[in-house]
Every structure is written in structure tokens, then in C-alpha cells.
Chains A and B, each alone.
Chain A
Amino acid sequence: MSGLVRGGAAIVGAAESDLGHVADGFSVIDLMAQGIVRALDDCGLGLRDVDGLICATTQSRTSGLNLSEYLGISPAFIDTTIIGGSSFMFHVGHAMAALQFGLCNVAVIAYGSTQRSVGRRQASVREVNPYETPYRPFLPSSAYALAASRHMHEFGTTREEMAAVAVAARQWALKNPVAWEKKPLTVTEVLGARMVSYPFTVRDICLVTDGGGAIVMTSPERAKSLKKPPVYVLGHGQAITHANISSMPNLTVTGALASGKQAYTMAGLAAKDIDVVELYDAFTINTILFLEDLGFCPKGEGGRFVEGGRIAPGGTLPVNTNGGGLSYCHPGMYGLFLLIEAVRQLRGECGPRQVHGAETAIAHGNGGVLSSQSTVILGTAATI
């Protein structure tokens, strides 16, 4: 049991930094700072209110120091846990605990990446693993492709079904003015695109963009007096199952099963109670795996589930409403953007892609090669 309390903290501010291909010379700390200033402006707080600083990036070894210096703050609480793209969902749990125990009063969670500008090789330096590196895997794509091969083998999942995930994401992205991709996409185009790691073509794989952002968290009491309606953390869960794909116990069952269970239990909710679903779609198979492991469909049925536009705009389950890592943006560690979109959906700020009447949202983060999973369930004041 985690000890976190349902509704024990709220997200009060959320913002992206510049996205896509940012101005020359921008550092990851510039992007984090830009995201923080925008997120604070979003809720009406200022830098001097921030006494909890949480951040992660692959491009600054001591980002917590660099960001503190840059902002001119000496945070009472600091956390730079970095375990891949789900780090920010883990951070939400840490921020919640820090707020509940009085370690800080206002926490910001920030991210920045310039991987498109500087190139992936420089943004995320590969570690040598003597048991994997000799086989020259493209990481992470080869690892996720291995998981996809297993899903296809065990459940008959097809490349067309995986392509449907990319097509749905693109349809959502066309409703998001800041999305990187601007043109429609078909299943045929996904299948016919350049092959990267079978069964994935480049269209089954997330974008490589720059970007960053921040969210602001505080106590439910303080949240009530701020600019925007608070979005409460109803549930939180986390699970680490492995680091390298060759050590993943079962390639078709992820830690989302455990993290989701914890989050649902804490929230007192089930999959059927969730209005908006934001899943870390680094690859098309991810959406399928997480829909299954988080209980939106039975194990093995994810491929069939995503067909026929079910998760696209106008479908019965809105999934990745910003266009996802596949079509909106993917600056390396994407988890924070799922939280930002979930917050905006619950505030009703999403214009043409708004899910009407959304009261609950799930933001599920994935890190490494399906290695670290963390689930955050959010709700409006009506859910408290």
C-alpha cells in the first residue's frame, strides 16, 4: 500500500514549453524554465512560491542543480528521479508525498529535451550492455518490436491493427494546433512506410522532436484559491519489472497491470469509470498493451479493440487526445505531456478535441523498454 491519500494533492498549473524544433541554442534548462514560468502563469503562482523542484532530462547530469541556479531558487524539496519516460508519473507520487508530509508547499515537475536539434545520439547516450550491444539492437525500437512479435504470435494481433493506433493518433493530432504532424494518415501509408524494426515501420514509432513543459502541484486547500479549477490526483501506482528487454519476464504483460491496479484501488475507480485515456504511445503496440493491462479490454484483445475507429475522434473511448507521441510531439521522455493533456481535458480547455463532460482521466507513463510503468488517475472537483 502506498500511503498516498486519494485527492491528497492537486495539479493546478500545466504548460508546454516550445515544441517541435526549438530556436537554435536553446538548452534543456531553458525549456524547463519556460515550461515552469508558463505553468505558474497558468495557475497564478510565481517562482517565489515554488519550494519543491522535480525534474528529469537525459541531457543534464545534475539537472536539479542547474535548474535551481537558473531559476534563482533553493528548493526545500528536490527530486531528480530518472527512470525513462514514466519518470514524471513517479514524480507525481513523490510530489504528493512531499506535499502531504509538509516537505514543500508548491512543487513543480519539469522536463526539457532538444533531441531533434542536437540529434538522438547526443541527447541520449547509449550505455553498453555486453549481453545485448553485440547484436546491434536499435534501442528502443528493437525491444518493442520483440514485444510486438510476441503479441502477434500469442494473440494473432496484426500489423493493420497496430497501424490503426497510428491512424487514430493522427486524427486526434489534426485537432491539436501544436501537433507536429499536420496531414492525415491511412493504414496503407503506415504499412508502406520505411521499415525500421519489423513489424514496425517509421509510422509505428513515435516522433523525434524537441520540447518540454511543467506542471504545478499543491495541496487541495491551496488549490481552491488559484486561477484554474484544480485537477485532483485520485490514484497513483507504479511498477518496475526489468531494465533490459532480455530480462522482461513476459513480453505481453507489462507492469501497467500492477501500477493500474494500485491506482484504481486508491481512486476507488475502474476502467469503465474513466472518461479520457492518455497512454504513452512510443510505439503502436504500447497503446494496445496498456489498453489491455489497464483493463479497457481483455488481454490479447487490444488489436481488435483499436480497430474501427474506437479510440479515434468520435469513437467510444477517447485515447491520446493530443495526438500522442506518434503524432503530437515526442521529446525523448514523453510522460509529462500525458499529464498536461489530461489536466487540460478535465478543465475543458481542449477546443475541437475536447471530450465533453470529462470528469476522470488516466495518464499512464511508460519508461525504458516497457521497464517502468506508472499510472496516475486524475479527477475534477466533482469526483472528490
Chain B
Amino acid sequence: MPDATQSPLAIYQAHLDNGDLAYQWSPKAGRAVFYPRVVCPYSASTELEWRVSRGLGTVYATTVTHPMQGAPYNIALVDCDEGFRLMSRVEEIDPMAVEIGMRVRFRLHPAEGDEAAYPVFVPANPAGKGAA
């Protein structure tokens, strides 16, 4: 493997800065890899391709965190249709109304100050319903 010019994180972040949710595809394993890395954990192959997600997924697990100060907020694990899972937050809906099985759509949470842009999700249909 030649020396890398960019880290997996930097490539992922550059995609986000373009408004895209990127993931890796492992041709050898025939499946998606997330979070981005330099070796495929399913096949040990270092051949990993970058792909851009269509941004649609399903809530796999959900919780509402109650900070000592401030409003409760959602934390969810989302299974994207391309076959990878990530931690995220479902917005534009009461955090307690986020349901397992709910279809959600990617939205960029833009960079603010020192914090880089990151992916969040919103209900895929405007009524905020549609649990599978």
C-alpha cells in the first residue's frame, strides 16, 4: 500500500463539506464499510472504494438523552439503505417520537466554529410517521 496522501476521515469530511454522506465499499467483501478506514474489517482487503449514499435509511435504535441543562435530544443508530450503520440524530420531530423502523433522510448539519459538518437525519416523509 503506497503512503496515503489523505486520511479516511479527511476524505469523509471533504464529502460532507460538499453536502454528501460518503461511505466505503469493499469489492472483496461485497459490502459497505463504515466508519471509513484503511482496511476492510470483513475481508482484510485494503482496496476500498468511496461511494456517496443516497441518504435514505431506517432507524435501528433510538434513545433520548436528558442533559442536566438544556432540552432532551435524540441519539439514534441509522441503517442506511446501502448497508452501513452510523450513529446520528433525528431532527425536526419530538425526540421521543423517533421510532425504530422509521424511514429517515440525510441532512447536513453544517460546520459551526471549531465543529466540523456532520450528518443528521429527518423523517423521510413530512408527517414524521411511516414506521416499517
Which of the residues A130, A131, A150 comes within 8 Å of B61, measured between beta carbons? A150
Contact partner of A196 (CB less than 8 A), chosen from B9, B66, B85, B109, is B66
Whether, in the assembled complex, A298 has its beta carbon less than 8 Å from a beta carbon of chain B, the answer is no
Query: Contact between A137 and B60 (Cβ–Cβ < 8 Å)?
Result: no
Of A131, A132, A136, the contact of B73 (CB 8 Å cutoff): A136
Using CB atoms, name the residue of chain A closest to B96.
A198
Q: How many residues of B contact A (CB 8 A)?
A: 29
Chain B residue nearest to A251 in the complex (CB): B61
Q: Which residues of B contact A245 (CB under 8 A)?
A: 77, 87
B56 is an interface residue with CB less than 8 A from chain A: no
With A142-B75, A246-B77 known as contacts, the answer to whether A149 contacts B87 (CB < 8 A) is no
Task: Classify the secondary structure of B's interface with A.
Answer: strand
Contacts of B3 in A (CB 8 A): none
Residues on A with C-beta less than 8 A from B100 are: 149-150, 153
Given contacts A146-B75, A246-B77, contact A135 B63 (CB under 8 A): no
Give the CA-CA distance A246 to B77 in the complex, in Å.
7
Judged by a CB distance under 8 angstroms, whether A294 is at the interface is no
Within 8 A of A (CB), among B72-96: 72-73, 75-77, 85-89, 96
- For this complex, 6 residue pairs linking A to B, each with C-beta atoms less than 8 Å apart, are A131-B35, A134-B115, A137-B87, A138-B65, A146-B76, A197-B75
A residues adjacent to B (C-beta < 8 A): 130-132, 134-138, 141-142, 145-150, 153, 194-199, 244-247, 251
Give 20 A-B pairs besides A135-B87, A142-B75, A150-B100 with Cβ atoms closer than 8 angstroms.
Answer: A130-B116, A131-B34, A131-B87, A136-B73, A137-B65, A137-B87, A138-B67, A146-B61, A146-B63, A146-B75, A146-B77, A149-B63, A153-B100, A153-B101, A195-B72, A198-B65, A198-B72, A199-B63, A245-B77, A247-B35
Chain B residues with a Cβ under 8 A of chain A: 9, 13, 34-35, 60-67, 72-73, 75-77, 85-89, 96, 100-101, 109, 115-116, 118
